[in-house]
Amino acid sequence: MPFYPTEVELTAVDFSPSMLEKAKDANDRLYGLNAEFIQGDVDSLLLNDQAFDTVVSTLTLCAYRDPNKVLHNMNRWCKPGGQILLMEHGTSSNKAISIAQTALDPIAYAIFGCHHNRDIMKLLAESPIKVKKSERYMSGILHLMWCSPR
């Protein structure tokens, strides 16, 4: 929230009521952004097509049951000429770390509720979203992506 411009009109979505409550509380106490908080499943959420100038996802493609479907939704929800900004974690570009991530994924999923071995570049390549610029950090685990809808 500290990174959004103060004049932003923000629509925040998560299916976890407690995550939304935390975000709402932080906004009320610290940021005062003009924000609507929607509890819903982004797999099936009914938002208007081409409704948003910018679609932001932070650390969520690891968690969705069907990340490909959600990427299609993000592409639909973003206005033509708008931007899709992603900060995601996935399988490492270091082979040894990637093998360990896959071996430990069932345990990591049970503890954290998200997958640690998803191939983020492949997911984006198979989606309609166009990646304009990307950077990887932490042995290639963390992705920053600047994208546009098609």
**Residues of the shown chain interacting with ligand SAM in the complex, contacts defined by CB under 6 A:** 13-16, 19, 41-43, 58-60, 63-64, 114
Closest approach of Cβ 65 to ligand SAM, in Å? 6
The residues, any chain, with a CB within 8 Å of residue 58's CB and separated by 6 or more, are 86, 87, 88
Closest approach of Cβ 31 to ligand SAM, in Å? 14
Tokens, residue 61: 């493609």
Nearer to ligand SAM, 33 or 42 (CB): 42
Closest CA relative to residue 69, chosen from 127, 109, 121, 125: 127
Nearer to ligand SAM, 86 or 124 (CB): 86
Closest approach of Cβ 123 to ligand SAM, in Å? 15
Helices (H) and strands (E) in the chain, counts: 4, 6
Nearer to ligand SAM, 96 or 111 (CB): 111
Sheet-wide strand order for 52-58:
52-58, 78-89, 142-148, 130-137
Nearer to ligand SAM, 58 or 139 (CB): 58
Nearer to ligand SAM, 18 or 80 (CB): 18
Tokens, residue 73: 């939704």
Residue 38 CA: distances (Å) to CA of 23, 42, 56: 11, 10, 15
Closest approach of Cβ 52 to ligand SAM, in Å? 16
Closest approach of Cβ 62 to ligand SAM, in Å? 7
